[in-house]
Structure 1
Amino acid sequence: MVPPTALEVQSTTDTQIATFSDKLSVNGVPARRSKAPKINGGVAAHASSDMFKSPGHGKPRAKRWDHRLSEESSAREPSSLKGAAKYLTIPGLISLGGGLPSSQYFPLEHIDIKVPIPPHFSEQETKESGIVKRIGKHDMAEGKSIYDIHVALNYGQSTGSAQMLRFVTEHTEIVHHPPYKDWQCCMTVGSTSALDLAYRMFCTRGDYILTEEYTFSTAAETARPMGVQCMGVKMDEQGLLPLHLDSIISNWDSAAHDGAAKPWLLYTVPSGQNPTGATQSKQRRKEIYRMAQKHDIYILEDEPYFFLQMQPYTGPDAPDVPLPSSHSAFIDALVPSLLSMDIDGRVMRLDSFSKVIAPGMRLGWITASEQIVERFVRHSEVSTQNPSGPSQLILFKLLEETWGHSGYLDWLINIRLEYTKRRDNICYACERYLPREVASWNPPMAGMFHWIKIDWQKHPSKEGKSMLEIEDEIFHAAIDRGTLTSKGSWFRAETGNPGDGMFFRTTFAAAPADKVAEAIERFGNALRAVFRLEEAANGHAQ
């Protein structure tokens, strides 16, 4: 199977998906920067993606979303204190206005980090040939860097530092090239925090939001205390089904849902979906986007696993598929994002460094229209305030000063290969150890989760036990044999609706290859015991 290629559509009407030819490349970044004004990266410096992206000649502007913003979001005003920071750039100004502590009292003189040099990314290679990057308190004043400790450890803007905002804006344009003019990026404290703010921006108590029928449990658990319920959209091996999405909205009965208006906010994880591992194809994403246009749906595109798209699965005895041979080939091998199809500005994309660098950084970014990002910033100013300065500074040293965009893409290609090996390993183990009589699966194309379907109807005591009771029996039988999995029912979007299928989620992200195989073998033994398959086999042999 050949990996899908990037979208190449030139039409620009309201009902079709458009891209434009003037796409920023890795090699084009230096020329872009040489023509741009010098970056202002001082304490609490104002920054906007408009400072770092292409002007977007010929692209449409995003639609307005005033009719979708919550009353809370519409009422938020800019922070007076954050806004006053713009005056700090005036030469000779003596500030007695803000609550910025003096960097003299930051008890850190320097931070040393050791990082790998592309393409030598392994732990052993980093120990042997990695370089130490020193971050000093006053590197900016000493002309050593454009970012340092005295800036990073002070208060900052909710958009994030200008230094990191420039990098993620350029990265977003290189990979996704949003096809409308007034898009913006904003740094976040990770995607979970960003999702919480997005719900507050768009949702009112009593609302329903649309999600996959099996969804990221935290996404549902964040919404429910707000009085917001999830409505599950049926799925297949490619994830969310557009026709069922259409059916839900077209046939919505407010009276049957306590008077709630038809849902118009869609939360989706298109690549390596958590928990199912499903990846929406290019065509599927186009269909979902057109359905969103039809029903005026706003989309929250949560994509922590986008760059964990893997090589095609070929089985244990087939030759490996060659890796993409260049940065452009790698980008073209990725299933294009919903953001890359968004001519209306109806997508808020949530990106994260959690799965490709480290989750403890608590750093990510959103991309959306200028209007939506401005509202997001207003919420951030009175909650998270600004992303962690040390996290931004460390990633700046790694991504900007050491790797650059080229090296970061090299790292992502490396991650693609490493996760392909892990995916292959768990699939090989399933083929070897799981009983095909009751277990089935599709090899995931992305992410870190493997979704195993169990034919619970074949349980010998199915007449006396419910599906959830059988699921619990399997779960504990696996634990008794030394393997922990996740019940599929934990991820049901709709509370009180167990569905009609039984699944277990396993992950291949962290455990060593031999331990993954051993765990799957133990799970297979648990299934055989619960379904009494060994007894049946022995009885048949006699």
Structure 2
Amino acid sequence: MDAAFELNSQPRTDILASLPKSKDFTAHLNQVSKNRAASSLKELYRYQNVPGMVVMAGGIPHPEVFPFESLSATILAPDAFPLDPPRVPKKEKSALLSWLFSAPRPTLNISIPKWAPKPVEPTTIQLSTSLQYQAATGPPALPLFLREYVSKIYKPAYADWDVLINNGNTDGWNKIVQLLFEKGDTVLVEEWTYPSAVNAFLPYDIQSVPIKMDSEGISPEHLEKVLSEWDEKAHDGRKRPKVIYTVPTGQNPTGATMEAERKKILYDIFAKYDIIIVEDEPYYCLYTGEWTPKGSKSDKSILAQREIDAEKKEGKEGNEAFIKALPPSYLYFDTEGRVVRLDTFSKTSAPGSRLGWFTANPLFIERLTRISEVSTQAASGFATALTTSTLQKWGFDGYIRWLRGVKATYNMRKTWICDAFQDTFHLEWDQAHVQGLFPNGSKTITCFSKQPKNRWDEKKGLNGPGLVTFTPPTAGMFVFLGVHLSEHPDYADLTRKGEDATHVLVQRLWTELADNLVLFAPGWYFDGGGEHAIGGKGYGYFRLSFSIATYEETYRAVHTFAKVLDKFFRLK
């Protein structure tokens, strides 16, 4: 292998010796999880690789009949993406291709043989084993790398954590539901949350308990209030929640990011009430920081600017700056083992690989393994072989450089969409009259039409009515915005007639946008069970993804949005 990762991938012994071991969380397991036994057939895997063992116990196909003699791929080099791409891209050759794809990028080749020369080494990848039946934990090479990654990036605060491969974060969360919840339980969620996470527990009659958010995510004050004042009678006899599902970085859909101080405060509250923290982090490495509007001067300190500049450097200094800039994981504060972290290769490699991993205490890892044995079993051999071979080719430092390039690419795309709003609308920062539209403390921008100012009456001000408010995201792939539906000419009449004016108008606007070939995700998809089911308070919400559209498509979509809004609000 060209750049093999370290075999000694656990933290150093002296560091581990100074850390506590995880608590016993057996009481948090549901009865089904407690009843699970190890798969009797899977127990055979512990013995079949013992040197000299004649394996005649399982119905295992012979690798000779596998039709794949080798598996080869051309992969991008870890430095294929620039760390500081230009704000405005070069002219695109096609509406389907961004400037990033118009020029050749450096590549490397990997090849996976059916039979490797040193098959017993833990880092060996060969098709004869990758494509074979195997334990639910998968081949050892990928966990070896992930333990090194978790140790160096997240720095868990207890000693006996481990990792387990899964089929991506959705699969991971489904298995956690099977691990921890009984029928009729409750679960804490953010007031805006990922809809597929909710869909996973709804069939179990599990009730979501939304916690209010501010600009950093979960509000500690509201969390404490909900937990300390829990009344089972007021919740149809349901017990106080024992699990929180949260997306701390680039929160889906709001884009909020939780920093260290807030995480520590929340961790202490969760520990006080014995809450298991499920930290779902698909956008963790896409933490990009704040958007700087065109033409504005940076208000960052000299030290902060030096850290930003360091991230743009090649080599060790740039890698270290990237790692330092990442928000700390809940694992960093977890001295008890109450955090179950979900990571995925979907946003940093390929969603179709269906490959991710848990980081958790040994009890949960063991029980999650039992769930995997009788459901998904091991992750795809093709996916693990290709992904692990790529990581081996890049090496640990190369993988960090790859993540830096991915981050820079999404930061560029975030800049495109925010710049498009700046060019298309008249923008005003932190409008007092939009309080309640977004979490308290958010740095909001309100968009006004660029129609001639003499069209507005005195009540609307020089810029007319505020049409849209959004908060520029600090991570992830989305802009979350609210439309000021209460400014619509029909809003008052619809309300007087007893209709849900917000519902009627947001549906009408979404349809008009789709008819004009712009598709946004309606905000009601992401309601965590609170007051946002459609809009509330005269606002309608949409989530815009900037992850895949080209520069030209991004600008066209925002310009179309502006034209539709002018017509929708009858401003022309």
| Aligned partner (choices 514, 521, 525) of residue 486 of structure 1 | 521
Deviation of 1:483 (Å): 0.5
SS at match of 1:438: strand
Cα gap change, 1:387 to 1:102, in 2 (>3 Å) = same
Q: Could you tell which deviates more after superposition, 51-60 or 231-240?
A: 51-60
- 1:319: how far off? 6.9
Map 1:239-278 → 2, pairs under 5 A: 239-278=217-256
Task: Tell me, yes or no, if structure 1 residue 290 matches structure 2 residue 281.
Answer: no
Q: Are the structure 2 counterparts of residues 105 and 189 from structure 1 closer, same or farther at C-alpha, using a change threshold of 3 Å? A: same
Q: Aligned partners of 1:80, 1:479: CA distance in 2, in Å?
A: 53
Deviates more, 1:61-70 or 1:317-326: 317-326
| Counterpart selection for 1:130 from 107, 118, 132 | 107
Residues 310 and 321 of structure 2 are in contact (CA less than 8 Å); yes or no, is this contact kept in structure 1? Answer: no
1:225-244 per-residue CA deviation (whole Å, 9 max, x = no partner) reads 12112111111222221211
- Provide, for residues 307-349 of structure 1, a one-character-per-residue CA deviation record: whole Å limited to 9, x for no partner: 0011432111247853514222111111111111111111000
Would you say 1:473 and 2:433 are equivalent positions? no
- 1:158-202 Cα shifts (integer Å, max 9, x gaps): 122100010111111110110101101001111101100001111
* Cross-structure match for 1:24: none
Closer, same or farther: CA 335–396 of 1 in aligned 2, 3 Å: same
Matched with 1:397 is 389
* Match in the other structure for 2:407: 416
Q: Given residue 74 of structure 1, which amino acid in structure 2 is its aligned partner?
A: K
Give the secondary-structure state (helix, strand or coil) at the position aligned to 1:367. Answer: strand
Paired residue for 2:70, among 87, 101, 110?
110
Aligned to 2:416: 425
Q: Which residue of 1 aligns with 2:358?
A: 366
Query: Which position in structure 1 is the counterpart of 2:474?
Result: 445
Give SS of 2:288's match.
coil
Q: Are the equivalent residues in 2 in contact too, given 1:345–1:369 (CA < 8 A)?
A: yes
Once the two structures are superposed, residues 399-444 of structure 1 have per-residue CA deviations (whole angstroms, 9 ceiling, x without a partner) of: 11x1000000001111111111100111111223244312111111
CA contact (8 A) 2:293 2:422 kept: no
Q: Kindly report which structure 2 residues correspond to 1:139-538, keeping only aligned pairs within 5 A, or say none.
A: 139-140=116-117, 146-318=124-296, 321-322=308-309, 324=311, 325=313, 326-400=318-392, 402-434=393-425, 435-436=447-448, 437-463=466-492, 464=494, 465-466=499-500, 467-494=502-529, 498=533, 500=536, 501-534=539-572
Secondary structure of the structure 2 residue equivalent to 1:533? coil
SS of alignment partner, residue 420 of structure 1: helix
- Structure 1 contact 140–148 (Cα < 8 Å) conserved: no
The equivalent residue for 2:33 is 73
Gaps of 5+ in 2: 83-99, 299-307, 426-446, 449-465
CA contact (8 A) 1:116 1:125 kept: no
* Aligned amino acid, residue 440 of structure 1: T
> Could you list the per-position Cα deviations for residues 477-508 of structure 1 after superposition, in whole angstroms to 9, with x for gaps in the alignment?
21122200011111111188626253110000
Same amino acid, percent of matched pairs: 32
Whether the 8 Å contact between 1:311 and 1:323 is mirrored in structure 2 is no
Contact persistence 2:81–2:406 (CA under 8 A): no
Aligned-partner SS, 1:211: strand
Distance, in Å, in 1 between the alignment partners of 2:156 and 2:4 is 17
Supply the distance in 1 between the matched residues of 2:571 and 2:223 (Cα, whole angstroms).
Answer: 39
| Distance in 2 between residues matched to 1:142 and 1:63, nearest whole Å | 37
Deviations 1:349-380 (A, max 9, x none): 00000001010000000101111111111111
8 Å contact kept, 1:231–1:494:
yes
How many residues get paired?
489
Post-superposition Cα deviations, 1:436-477, rounded to whole Å, max 9, x if no partner, equal: 312111111100010012222212222315212221111112
Matches within 5 A, 1:57-68: 57-68=17-28
TM-score, structure 2 as length reference: 0.82
- Shift in alpha-carbon separation, 1:52–1:281, aligned structure 2, 3 A: closer
In structure 1, runs of 5+ residues without a counterpart are 1-26, 37-50, 535-542
Q: Distance in 1 between matches of 2:320 and 2:424?
A: 39
Distance 2:553 2:218 in 1: 32
Aligned residues of 1:238 and 1:281 also touching (Cα < 8 A): yes
Q: Distance in 2 between matches of 1:521 and 1:429?
A: 8
User: Alpha carbon RMSD of aligned pairs, Å?
Assistant: 2.2
Q: Secondary structure at the match of 2:125?
A: coil
Q: 1:114, 1:130 within 8 Å by CA — same for their partners in 2?
A: yes
Distance 1:492 1:76 in 2: 34
Q: Distance in 2 between matches of 1:29 and 1:483?
A: 45
Deviation at 1:53? 4.4
Separation in 2, partners of 1:429, 1:118:
30
- Counterpart Cα distance in 2 of 1:28 and 1:88: 26
Cα distance in 1 between the residues matched to 2:366 and 2:345: 22
The alignment partner of 2:309 has SS state of coil
Do 2:187 and 2:206's aligned partners in 1 also have CA atoms closer than 8 Å? yes
